[in-house]
Structure 1
């Protein structure tokens, strides 16, 4: 069984600029540059047969390259407290279309439908009950603007959970 997801990676200069924002919240678990991505579809743990079916379905996706940009920051909450902070990806019809094509390919491969709404973002840090306040950080980086850069492919990634956080490795690239 492998834990998989489908994502777009930002270029190195955008990743470096995001790394520069990663300070000022005590107890935050900041992402490494190699873990920065825009999730198009989380798959979860699947066996090798399902993985092969997903890869075959993803190979059929075509799209014209399009621009992606970051415009601001935000956070997710769970149990009435923030559990992640992120950089907001400017929504575009092209990104929405690609995400829908990825979702439909996953369904054709036999995966159940994704029930969560697609919120395009790049997670910057995970938070827990011991993490400091995020208000100042959100205010300081609220006007963050990076890009645009061109999306000309996406990848299937494996997520290996370790005591120090998840490690992501590219399984297959789809240009």
Structure 2
């Protein structure tokens, strides 16, 4: 069994900007540079045959390249206790459209569709019980933003859980289409 997810890898300057924000929150398990990603779809544990079916289905996904930018910090919580710190991204339209195509491809490979609402974000830290407070960081760095950056591909990752946390390995990359290809496809013949 292997544990999989589909994600976008931000470029090095964006990852560096995010890494510079990390620190100063008790109980936070900060992401390393190798762990920074924007999840499109968590898959979970599957056997190798299903993983091959997922890969084949993802190869068929077509979507034009687009740009996003960092936009603010926030936290997810459970019963008022923070569980994760995240950086937001904007705009959401292309991300949500790509998420939907990825989710449909994974469903064609035989898995259940995603049931939760998709909230595009980049996780910066996971929080331990009793960790925090997170509000001082959100208030001081919450206005984080960036210039738009290109999303040229998405990736299938394997996540291996170990004593020092998760390690992520790229199993496949799926390029997005240049804008001129999208225009050619929409031109009547």
TM-score class normalised by the smaller sequence = over 0.9
Off by >6 Å, runs of 4+ in structure 1: none
Residues of 1 paired with 2:95 and 2:27: CA distance?
Answer: 33
Residues of 2 paired with 1:147 and 1:107: CA distance?
Answer: 34
Structure 2 spans left out of the alignment, 5+ residues: 176-189
1:82-114, Cα deviation, whole Å (9 max, x unpaired): 010000011332211111100100100001011
Residues 81-120 of structure 1: pairs in structure 2 closer than 5 A: 81-120=81-120
1:6-54, Cα deviation, whole Å (9 max, x unpaired): 0000000000000000011022110001100010000000001100110
Structure 1 position 57 matched with structure 2 position 57: yes
Residues 157-172 of structure 1: pairs in structure 2 closer than 5 A: 157-172=157-172
State how many pairs are aligned: 175
Offset of residue 5 of structure 1: 0.1
Instruction: State the match for 2:77 in structure 1.
Output: 77
Offset of residue 124 of structure 1: 0.2
TM-score normalised according to structure 1 size: 0.97
Instruction: Give the alignment's Cα RMSD to 1 decimal.
Output: 1.0
Instruction: State the match for 2:39 in structure 1.
Output: 39
Instruction: State the match for 1:122 in structure 2.
Output: 122
SS at match of 1:147: coil
Structure 1 spans left out of the alignment, 5+ residues: none
> Are 1:74 and 1:85, in contact at CA under 8 Å, matched by a contact in 2?
yes
Offset of residue 128 of structure 1: 1.1
> Are 2:82 and 2:131, in contact at CA under 8 Å, matched by a contact in 1?
no
SS at match of 1:146: coil
Residues of 1 paired with 2:19 and 2:144: CA distance?
Answer: 12
Offset of residue 157 of structure 1: 0.1
